[in-house]
A and B are shown apart, each in its own frame.
Chain A
Amino acid sequence: MCGIVGIYLKNKKYNSQLGKFLTGMMNSMATRGPDSAGFAIYSSEKKKKYKYSVCSNTDQVKEISKKLSKQVKDIKVKSISDHLIIETVMKPKKFIEILKNHDELSLVGYGSCIEIFKQVGNPKDVVKNFSLEKFSGSHAIGHTRMATESAITTDGSHPYSTGEDECLVHNGSLSNHNNLRRSLQKKGIEIKSMNDTEVAAGYISNGLSDKKSLKETLLDGLKDLDGFYTFISGTKNGMAIVRDEIACKPAVVAETKDYVAIASEFQAMAHLPNVNSAKIFEPEPGKVYSWGK
């Protein structure tokens, strides 16, 4: 089943409440996906700096920081539950190579403004573990998972990020992901898991790196991705939603002058400010909707 949620704030006065809004949305979607959860938060851009979201299987944060600081100059490590947010000027290519020598660390996502957290467990516990309520930012995307297609692991959890400041959450399943995975890997897109959604994320990264817009890439996806899906995709500048042509997987959008919220079910948005006077609609099948700067 899975639950997906997204929120884009048009009015900056709500930025400090972003985490609080997303917490409510994720909690109410826990019934749709009780086995794991994850979220991506976009906050203000750090010029010339990168944030690497890393999942660690050890609690010896100090030692890891020490080891890394020998290899990476000007490093700042923040630890939240089993995740580390590593801030440095080092460019992704070089840093990812260094990370590969640390078996205890696995990269979840990176960019100048994105932070990604994901974990196995009930979404209500996951958001608590990461103190999601305290986060602020401009937009955020979340997922509650009911695994159908690959194992219940952190690797199998959403959001997936296969490019700088990109992320994707998915409700549905794809049937041609094995073929697509091979062809994307040949093009140099790194796909680590056997999960179908990671392939779709890789497909989007490939489109964006070909200088296509997110909207164009998602429209191309309607032809190339076989299966059923509702996707919410995030970039530095905003977010977009698309449903396949059959539109079996639900989605509802609520838009006010202050924000745009997307969720699998309306109940996930019932706690948002002035939602009862929002423009509420269901995204039409095969159509891309996007919001952003």
Chain B
Amino acid sequence: MNLNLKKESLRKVNETLQSIDRKSNKKIFKVSNPDGNHAICAGLKDEIEVTIDGHTGYYCAGMNMNANIIVNGNVGTGVAENMMSGTVHVKGNASQSAGATAHGGTLIIDGDTSSRCGISMKGIDIIVKGSVGHMSAFMAQSGNLVICGDAGDALGDSIYEANIFIKGKVKSLGADCEEKKMNKKDQNILRSLLKKASINESEIKNFKMYGSARKLYNFNIDNVSEY
């Protein structure tokens, strides 16, 4: 089914995608002429496949549940923000705060993302084939962020229990983020994520892992004079 945003309103298109007849066999949709509109495919909750042909604005595929969404273009701020499950695959670049606060699902970005990728992520798997901007994985709580390119300043600032896997250079680490030794279990996690994004598994050896030093978890009495 083709939904043309030049002919139908954004609200109508989103309504169609949000109220799928579960008995119907219609599972494959296409959205054309997105023209940078905001909140395209936000709040989908069924196991459908949607291809967006072009560039989107803010909060594309926000709050996604179950749906498999492919964007043949770039996305604006907050793609797949607060996603619960499903897959979002961006063929171009993403703006700030990709996958922000998302609880689950997989976000694959073929290009680069700008700042704050995976900010406050709570269980999502994010795989970025390019590089990420500054403050990525800021206050990340759970889930995995895989970066095949480089990371900007303050990677993983105030991180909790998420994992960051990175192949390229890290410009600087944020507070309480440190390099970790990758064990078998971590390698298996990385392997399955690379597989999901169709990246050669042999690349595993080129990745480093970062996580929380857990020094911000409790108050440190040595810092009492700072207050």
Shortest Cβ distance from B32 into chain A, in angstroms? 11
B55 at the interface (CB under 8 A from A): yes
B21 at the interface (CB under 8 A from A): no
Among listed A5-13, A80-88, A178-186, A261-269, interface-contacting one: A261-269
A280 contact from B37, B74, B133, Cβ within 8 A: B74
Given contact pairs A250-B95, A280-B55, A285-B115, A268 touches B77 in the complex (Cβ within 8 A) = no
Interface mask (A95-112 → B, CB under 8 Å = 1, otherwise 0): 000000000000000000
Number of A-B contacts (CB under 8 A): 48
User: Are B57 and A266 touching (Cβ within 8 A)?
Assistant: yes
Query: How many chain A residues touch B (Cβ–Cβ < 8 Å)?
Result: 16
A276 contact from B54, B76, B96, Cβ within 8 A: B54
Interface mask (B117-150 → A, CB under 8 Å = 1, otherwise 0): 0000000000000000110000000000000000
A133 at the interface (CB under 8 A from B): no
Question: Given the complex, which residues of A lie within 8 Å of B174, measured CB to CB?
Answer: none
User: Are A281 and B93 touching (Cβ within 8 A)?
Assistant: yes
Q: Which A residues, 249 to 293, have Cβ-Cβ distances below 8 Å to chain B? A: 250, 252, 265-271, 276, 280-282, 284-285
Shortest Cβ distance from A77 into chain B, in angstroms? 40
Given contact pairs A280-B93, A284-B133, A267 touches B54 in the complex (Cβ within 8 A) = no
Interface size grouping (class) on chain B? 20 to 34
Taking chain B's interface residues, is the majority helix, strand, or loop, or is none over half, making it mixed?
loop
Q: Which B residues, 55 to 107, have Cβ-Cβ distances below 8 Å to chain A? A: 55-58, 73-74, 76-77, 92-93, 95-96
A89 at the interface (CB under 8 A from B): no
A270 CA / B56 CA spacing, docked (Å)? 10
Nearest chain B residue, comparing its CB with the CB of A278: B55
Interface mask (A186-213 → B, CB under 8 Å = 1, otherwise 0): 0000000000000000000000000000
A266 contact from B55, B96, B115, Cβ within 8 A: B55
User: Are A268 and B36 touching (Cβ within 8 A)?
Assistant: yes
- Most chain B CB within 10 A, of A280, A281, A282, A284, is at A282
Q: Could you tell me which A residues sit within 8 Å of B by CB distance?
A: 247, 250, 252, 265-271, 276, 280-282, 284-285
A-B contact pairs, 17 of them (CB 8 A): A247-B114, A250-B77, A250-B95, A265-B36, A266-B55, A266-B74, A266-B76, A267-B35, A270-B35, A271-B35, A276-B54, A276-B55, A276-B73, A280-B55, A280-B93, A282-B95, A285-B115
Excluding A250-B77, A250-B96, A280-B74, 14 further A-B contacts by CB distance (< 8 Å) are: A247-B114, A247-B134, A252-B76, A265-B36, A265-B57, A265-B58, A265-B76, A266-B57, A266-B74, A267-B35, A276-B73, A282-B114, A284-B114, A285-B115
